[in-house]
Amino acid sequence: MYIHIVIGTRPNFIKAAPLCWAAKKIGIKIHLIHTGQHYDLLMNQVFFDDLDLPRPYRYLDIGSGSHAKSTGRCLERLGNVFSEDKPDWVIVIGDVNSTIAGALAAVKLGIKCAHVESGLRSFDRTMPEEINRIATDSISDLLFATEPSGVTNLEHEGHSPGSIKLVGNVIIDTLDHFLPIARKRGAFNLFDLKVKNYALLTLHRQSNVDIDSSLKALIDKIDLVQQLIPVVFPVHPRTRKELHSFGFENRLEKLSNLKIVDPLGYVDFLSLMGNSKMVITDSGGIQEETTVLEIPCLTLRDNTERPITCEQGTNQLVGSTGSKLMSAIESVMNNEQKIIKRPDLWDGHTAERILNELTIGKIS
């Protein structure tokens, strides 16, 4: 059994890690093919070091560009790699351009493809990620779902029941593995913060940061939030670029209770998240991580492809402009939180179940 895992962005690294650990335990040969979609050092090497990931077998260096250019370069270069190596399976993860390119390159060469994190749907086709999710699922041989809604969506789209596997969530495998270390790390001390007395902010989604009016509206809300509670903001390189191009950097720097920092490694970020009072984000994976950590998550979006995080977890949708943000923060500050239930199969063993499916029961 010889498997290629396509990775390209920070969330891919986090989700690939437990697959690599589990494969090593049972002697399956896995190669990481890094497309280079995230090419900034702070989004790359620090995560490989933190996550104990093997060095990528191939680094394709696609760099930045439009969705069309990024996907096209990925497809061409992955096709060359797969043609030469002829793996038994290609695993693609999530919903980025590297994901759909990896699936297309594999199936066009007759190589079996498995999609990890399959079936998630926001039902918002203005999101590039939604198109990637639908297209990847439509051509993959095995569809590994994280939550029941994913199974339901795939069934409604007509996928064969035998191809759909509810296996749980690999991002939680990684979280459970590193949580004891993160609890001891105390990353909040790096920024002179106190436990449960600060908000953690992340922003990177195209619809939020690539349009000046949208980004300004969110900055207006951030200004209000930092007047109530300290806010620490690890800035994604892409977001920093847009803040600079729109001329918003100076305004943020003048907010006395906002701490703007560089992107953090996985363990430091997990430590910061786990000790926060709340997280304000537009990320998908953070919605899942905060559900397990039982940290209130206020998501700057009008929809989510991860509904279980709202139904069983801590996640609240506060709108893409943050229209419901301040009322949600008031509830959090008053410690008004519903009962949280960790979703079924989010138990730290998802990677083992995935490899078990690929190897036809060779894992006990």
- The pLDDT assigned to 43 comes to 57
Contact predicate 169/146, CB 8 Å: yes
How far is 43 from 265, CA to CA, in rounded Å? 8
How far is 60 from 39, CA to CA, in rounded Å? 10
pLDDT digit string (tens) for 97-133?
999 999 999 999 999 999 999 999 999 999 999 999 9
Task: Please state, as a whole number, how many other Cβ atoms lie within 10 Å of the Cβ of residue 125.
Answer: 9
Distance of CA 137 to the CA centre of its chain: 18
Tell me the residue type at 203: L
Q: The tokens of 249 are what?
A: 């950097």
- The pLDDT assigned to 218 comes to 94
- The pLDDT assigned to 38 comes to 66
pLDDT digit string (tens) for 220-263?
999 999 999 999 999 988 899 899 999 999 999 999 999 999 99
Angle at 20 between CA 16 and CA 23, to 5 degrees: 135
3-state secondary structure at position 217: helix
Residue 263 Cα distances to 67, 168, 177, 249, angstroms: 23, 28, 21, 16
- The pLDDT assigned to 363 comes to 37
Tell me the residue type at 333: M
- In order of their start, the domains of the chain are 2-169+346-358 (3.40.50.2000), 179-333 (3.40.50.2000)
Give every CB contact of residue 28 below 8 A, 6+ residues apart in sequence: 1, 3, 355, 359
- The pLDDT assigned to 236 comes to 87
How far is 364 from 362, CA to CA, in rounded Å? 6
Crossing angle of the two packed helices 266-274 and 285-293, in degrees rounded to 10: 50
| Catalytic residue list | 204
Task: Please state, as a whole number, how many other Cβ atoms lie within 10 Å of the Cβ of residue 40.
Answer: 16
Give every CB contact of residue 358 below 8 A, 6+ residues apart in sequence: 1, 3, 89, 114, 142
How far is 211 from 296, CA to CA, in rounded Å? 27
pLDDT in tens, the chain (364 residues): 899 999 998 899 999 999 999 999 999 999 999 998 766 655 567 778 889 899 999 999 887 788 899 899 999 999 999 999 999 999 999 999 999 999 999 999 999 999 999 999 999 999 999 999 999 999 999 999 999 999 999 999 999 999 999 999 999 999 999 999 999 999 999 999 999 999 999 998 888 888 899 999 999 999 999 999 999 999 988 899 899 999 999 999 999 999 999 999 999 999 999 999 999 999 999 999 999 999 999 999 999 999 999 999 999 999 999 999 999 999 999 998 888 999 999 999 999 999 999 997 443 3
In this structure, what is the dihedral angle of CA atoms 286, 244, 8, 305, given to the nearest 10 degrees? 40
- State the distance between the two ends of the chain, measured CA to CA, in whole angstroms: 17
3-state secondary structure at position 260: strand
165 closest CA partner among 95, 123, 122, 114:
114
| Phi and psi torsions of 317, nearest 5° | -85, 120
